[in-house]
Structure 1
Amino acid sequence: MPGRKMSDGIQERIKRLILDRRLAPGAALPTETDLMALLGVSRNSVREALKALQAMGIVEIRHGFGTYVGPMSLAPLVEGLSFRTVVGHYQGRDSLLELLELREAVETGLVARVVGRIPEEDLALLAGLVDRMRAEAEKEDVHAETDRAFHLALYRALGNDLLSELLDAFWDAFHRVRTDLAERHQDPRVTWRQHHEILDAVRSGDAAGAEDAVRRHFDDIRRRLATAARSHH
């Protein structure tokens, strides 16, 4: 474990360097040689630490060009959540339901807060997305990206970038895993109607109604997951 502790220590020092120099995403980091001199460690130690930081999205290694501050995205979280859910499923746990309940807890806790705060342009965007869902439902398939765009636009008025990224990460992980583990899909007309109900409550200033509409949406997904799980046994 000494090697692991040393690598962790180098990672922390590189992160501290990024903070101390106020390096923004996309900014170039010192070269490997410069990092070796700054940190007093070997080239292999620097490379090992950089690879670990790249896996976390903290740095980006562009071979032939250098190393840069990474985008700080939540992509590693999505990968971890997705794989953990699949592993749990094959161990006999209701891990997809657990992931759904995580999304539900966040969204039902937030939707009442956006009521009365969504600007007209975002309400118009949400209405356009609901109209698109209706058109897609008539062709028997509400596209996943339309659903994703609706949920992102709904909470954008909160002005919290981290929250938006986290909601998107939960959505991405859930839908990525559901494609593999749950074959039963929702009636697209139900999908459209439920999102229409959420928008109607938000637009009319009905915070309690908006929360109820979101909860009904998740309750329906939960029932379908339970039905799909029984059909596999």
Structure 2
Amino acid sequence: MDAIKSYIIRKGLKSGEPLPNEATLCDELGVSRSSVREAIRKLEALRIVSVAHGKGMFVGDMSLEPLVETLSFRAMTDGKNDLSNLLDVIEVRRILDLGAAGAVCAAMRGTDQPRLLELTDRMMEAARQGRQFMDDDIEFHSILLRSAGNQVLSQLANSMWLVHMAILPQLDLSVSDDLVRSAQAHRDMAVTAMDGDVDGYRAAVIEHYAPIASIVETYLAQQA
């Protein structure tokens, strides 16, 4: 498996570019066909290699989806209280957003972001009606973090969002009482980012995560 990864790096291959067939890889890497097949199977599961039957093998999209699946499953099976796991995920998301504050505000300062504001308007409307706004939420955070220009950060933050949303429905946890507060925090994040106000942005991030964290902490205290 490491030999094929090294081959991809050495050849400078990018996502979507073709890989040699099994026979050629065996010759180039000096390994058996069974070893190549086993390595390809593992790399395909990790999205490093993509196999299109009848077309060949390609460098995969290297999505963090396997990480999402693993973390989501681990969070629900590791023996800890599911609420404790959710609290851990919330904290990781908060750390990522706070860490990106400077880059996000620098990138968005003085810009117009009509889509961000439209999303916050939709969140506020949904919140007042007691409805969740998950699709708008992930698009909102994706726009902000993509602006930081750090692809790994953006992908990791999106992955943690997906883990968060994978755990949440399992808990039958009501967050409707704090939807408006959360929606307003999104609006504040957008406005402070466009103003280039790093401190204001960080305060809005903390306010954004405070409602769900408070609900989880209250539930945990009641169970203690």
2:5 aligned with 1:15: yes
Aligned equivalent of 1:159, options 123, 140, 149: 149
Aligned equivalent of 1:35, options 25, 32, 50: 25
Cα deviation, residue 114, structure 1: 2.2
Q: State the secondary structure of the residue aligned to 2:108.
A: coil
The root-mean-square deviation of aligned C-alpha atoms, in Å, is: 2.2
Q: Which amino acid aligns with 2:149?
A: G
Q: What is aligned with 1:68? A: 58
2:214 aligned with 1:226: no
2:170 aligned with 1:180: yes
Between the aligned partners of 2:138 and 2:39, the Cα distance in structure 1 is 35
Q: Which amino acid aligns with 1:91?
A: K
Q: What is aligned with 2:81? A: 92
Q: Which amino acid aligns with 1:30?
A: P
Q: What is aligned with 2:45? A: 55
Structure 1 residues without counterparts, runs of 5 or longer: 1-10
Aligned equivalent of 1:126, options 116, 128, 140: 116
Cα deviation, residue 189, structure 1: 2.1
- Which one scores higher on RCO, CA 8 angstroms, separation ≥ 6? 2
Cα deviation, residue 119, structure 1: 6.0
Cα deviation, residue 116, structure 1: 4.3
Q: Which amino acid aligns with 2:193?
A: V
Q: CA offsets, 1:62-112, max 9 Å, x none? A: 233221110011112111221221123x43371211111111111122224
Q: What is aligned with 1:102? A: 92
Check 1:116–1:21 CA distance in 2 against 1; reply closer, same or farther (3 A cut).
closer
Q: What is aligned with 2:197? A: 206
Between the aligned partners of 1:112 and 1:22, the Cα distance in structure 2 is 32
Q: CA offsets, 1:123-170, max 9 Å, x none? A: 222111111112322432132110111111122221112211111111
Q: Which amino acid aligns with 2:80?
A: Q
Decide which moves more: 64-73 or 203-212.
203-212
Between the aligned partners of 2:194 and 2:29, the Cα distance in structure 1 is 56
**What is the number of equivalent residue pairs in this alignment?**
222
Structure 2 residues without counterparts, runs of 5 or longer: none
Decide which moves more: 40-49 or 23-32.
40-49
Identity of aligned residues (%): 33
Check 1:109–1:24 CA distance in 2 against 1; reply closer, same or farther (3 A cut).
closer
Q: What is aligned with 1:46? A: 36
Q: Which amino acid aligns with 1:203?
A: M
Q: State the secondary structure of the residue aligned to 2:147.
A: helix
Q: What is aligned with 2:68? A: 78
Structure 1 outlier segments of 4+, above 3 Å? 90-93, 119-122, 227-233
2:147 aligned with 1:140: no
Check 1:110–1:58 CA distance in 2 against 1; reply closer, same or farther (3 A cut).
same
Q: What is aligned with 1:196? A: 187
Q: CA offsets, 1:12-48, max 9 Å, x none? A: 1111211222221111111112222323333221111
So what's the TM-score if we normalise by structure 2? 0.88
